Amino acid sequence: MVEQGMVERMSKYVHLTLGGFCVALGLIGAVLPVLPTTGFLIMAAFFFTKGSPRLRMWLLDHAHFGPLIRNWEETGAIPRRIKALSISMMAASFVICLILGLPAYVLIAQAVLMSAGAAYILTRPDS
């Protein structure tokens, strides 16, 4: 049998690893426009809740990302500027795929998934 303490330690390390992975993707997204920085940092804050409360507080206290994460956790709101940027980036990447002549099934899948993502973003309250 696996003892409870071992399960809790493993859970902590899994959450810590996932949180660190999300922070890394968020930092990459700060440089590359194809990754959603804030979304990954919100997920990192979630994972750090069980993995590392100290790292969670570091994220929440961050001057740039902290207010966005706290706003999301408190209200589920997305600022209008971020909504506009997100939808614009989705549209731009779809146009690039059209120009590159990707197969129709790829474009259809991309359009369906991006439409679902855009609908979710647009239905969140403004902050």
pLDDT in tens, 22-70: 999 988 887 876 677 878 899 999 999 988 889 999 999 999 889 888 9
> What residues have CB less than 8 Å from 82, skipping those under 6 apart?
38, 68
pTM > 0.75: yes or no: no
Let me know whether 33 and 85 are in one domain: no
| Tally of domains within the chain | 2
Q: What is the largest CA-CA distance in the chain?
A: 57
Domain end (from 58, 76, 94): 76
Let me know whether 86 and 127 are in one domain: yes
Let me know whether 2 and 53 are in one domain: yes
Identify the DSSP state of 126: P
Q: At 64, list the tokens.
A: 């740039």
Let me know whether 52 and 67 are in one domain: yes
Residue 46's domain spans which residues? 1-76
Let me know whether 66 and 30 are in one domain: yes
Best CA proximity match to 56, nearest among 11, 22, 6: 22
